[in-house]
Amino acid sequence: MALRPCTGFTISSLRNASAANDNLFSLLSFSSSSSPAKRNLLFSSLRDHLRRFASSASLYRQHLRNQQQQQQQQQSRVKEKSETLAQKIGKSIRRAGAPSKARVYADVNVVRPKDYWDYESLAVQWGVQDDYEVVRKVGRGKYSEVFEGIHATDNEKCVIKILKPVKKKKIKREIKILQNLCGGPNIVKLLDIVRDQQSKTPSLIFEHVNNKDFKVLYPTLSDYDVRYYIFELLKALDFCHSRGIMHRDVKPHNVMIDHEQRKLRLIDWGLAEFYHPGKEYNVRVASRYFKGPELLVDLQDYDYSLDLWSLGCMFAGMIFRKEPFFYGHDNYDQLVKIAKVLGTDELNAYLNKYRIELDPNLTSLVGRHSRKPWTKFINSENQHLAVPEAVDFVDKLLRYDHQERPTAKEAMAHPYFYPIRNAESSRTPRSQ
Angle of helix 223-242 versus helix 305-319 axis, rounded to 10: 170
Give the amino acid at 28: L
Catalytic residue among 192, 196, 249, 307: 249
Task: Look at residue 182 and give its three-state secondary structure.
Answer: coil
CB 281 within 8 A of CB 292: no
Q: To the nearest 5 percent, what fractions of the chain are helix, strand and coil?
A: 50, 10, 35
Tell me how far the alpha carbon of residue 65 is from its chain's centroid. 27
Task: Look at residue 230 and give its three-state secondary structure.
Answer: helix
Tell me how far the alpha carbon of residue 56 is from its chain's centroid. 31
Cβ of 199: how many Cβ atoms within 10 Å? 20
The yes-or-no answer on residue 115 being catalytic is no
Residue ranges of the alpha helices (H) in 218-304?
223-242, 293-296
The reply to whether 161 sits in an annotated binding site is yes
For the chain, give the number of residues.
432
| Structure letter (DSSP) for residue 205 | E
| Structure letter (DSSP) for residue 138 | E
How would you class 431 by CB atoms within 10 Å of its CB: exposed for 0-12, middle for 13-18, buried for 19 or more? exposed
Binding-site residue numbers are 161
Binding-site residue numbers for ATP are 161
Active site residues: 249
